[in-house]
Amino acid sequence: MGEQTFRSKIIALYLPQFYETEENNQWWGKGYSDWVAVKKSKAYFSGQTQPRIPLNHNYYDLSKSETLQWQADLAHKYGIDGFCIYHYYSNGKLMMNRPAEILLEHKDIKIEYFFSWANHDFRKQWFGQDGRLLRRQEYGEKEDWKRHFEYLLPFFRDERYMKMDNKPVFVIYDVFHIENFGPMMKYWNELAKREGFDGLFLIATRSRTNLKSEDLLELQAIDKVFVFEPMNFRTNGFQSNYIYTTSRRIKTVLIRLHNKIFKNRPRQEKYSIPKAYQAILKRRMLEDEYYGFFTEWDNTPRYQGKSVAFVGGSPELFEQYFEKVLKKSCLGGKEFIFINAWNEWGETAYLEPDTRNGYAYLEAVKKCKDRVWNER
């Protein structure tokens, strides 16, 4: 194999939730963040490792600039090129915005980043709740679109905010949730050009099975598609293995039926991390798709006995497969590869150090990056 000439940037998804917010206080109780759920979590089956504990019991507060500085230093040390920070905005109403604003205020925090607009409804569905609507995601009309863009503009102007060909990178979680997506993005591109940019570099998230990248890319405003993992594996299984995929779907339906009937004796949906990694590696990617990868995934801290858990993972297995996927991403000339996640502790998807693995996942990223970069 020839010299590796293209280098995909390694981007970690970043949850800005770990501090006290008005909404979490109202919905889940005073002082709630996912740390509350993480601390209370427990194992429901043999081989499940819950709760997970941050190294040195570092249940940090994201409203403090020193926390973001620590995270940025750690990311830089272990080869993470940037954060994809979840952005919550619904028709003028912000949520979990303080960490990004702290980052903007503190230019000395050296980390590149861009936003992923998490444009979904919020429901009361954690901890066995009834699923009622808490906040509806809304978009408003043209003046509201302008107000949203004006909030984003100082971030876009930040030299640390990632750009492609003078276009700020912006990810959208659910493109088809935006009824006036075309007109809205056309207007945003016009506003961006007025501000000296060449438009926006828009990435759609392929987050569920009934989404096809081809359909997303048909939208004129979309430049690329990011394949979100492990949710694509959960819904699709092995795309080339009909028997596995069909049996997996049947089992999922039966588990959900069981949990509806026997509410006091729930069962969890369990998936294999080795099989998920294999599926990601074997997936045929479109030219305009970005790979997604993940460490582990288990939302037991939030959903307790009715959770979805991926089992069989380890830093060693992650390293084995991530190196191969990173290599394929580079050979495919893909600008980014996404890891789920930097700090999704409520879903057991994190690179940050814990008492179980120490810095092993971060060390794995660094070793993979060094080997792929130096390969001849």
Does the pLDDT of residue 3 top 90, yes or no? no
Instruction: Give per-residue pLDDT as tens, 273-318.
Output: 999 999 999 989 999 999 999 999 999 999 888 889 999 999 999 9
Total length of the chain:
376
Q: pTM higher than 0.85, yes or no?
A: yes
* Burial class of residue 85 in the structure, from the number of CB atoms within 10 Å of its CB (0-12 exposed, 13-18 middle, 19+ buried): buried
Does the pLDDT of residue 372 top 80, yes or no? yes
Instruction: Give per-residue pLDDT as tens, 207-259.
Output: 866 678 888 888 889 999 999 999 877 655 444 455 555 665 676 666 566 66
235: three-class secondary structure by DSSP: helix
Give me the domains of the chain, ranges plus CATH numbers: 9-234+266-374 (3.20.20.80)
Q: Kindly report the average pLDDT of the chain as a whole number.
A: 91
The residues near 262 (Cβ < 8 Å, ≥ 6 apart) are none
Instruction: Give per-residue pLDDT as tens, 293-304.
Output: 999 999 999 988
Lowest mean pLDDT among 10-14, 158-162, 220-224: 220-224
In this structure, are residues 196 and 261 in contact, taking their beta carbons and an 8 Å threshold? no
Distance, CA of 279 to CA of 26 (rounded, Å): 40
Q: What is the pLDDT of residue 2?
A: 47
Does the pLDDT of residue 344 top 80, yes or no? yes
Q: What is the pLDDT of residue 254?
A: 67
H-type alpha helices, 47-163: 65-77, 98-105, 142-157
Q: What is the pLDDT of residue 233?
A: 74
Least Cα distance to 56 among 349, 363, 315, 358 occurs for 358
Distance, CA of 304 to CA of 259 (rounded, Å): 12
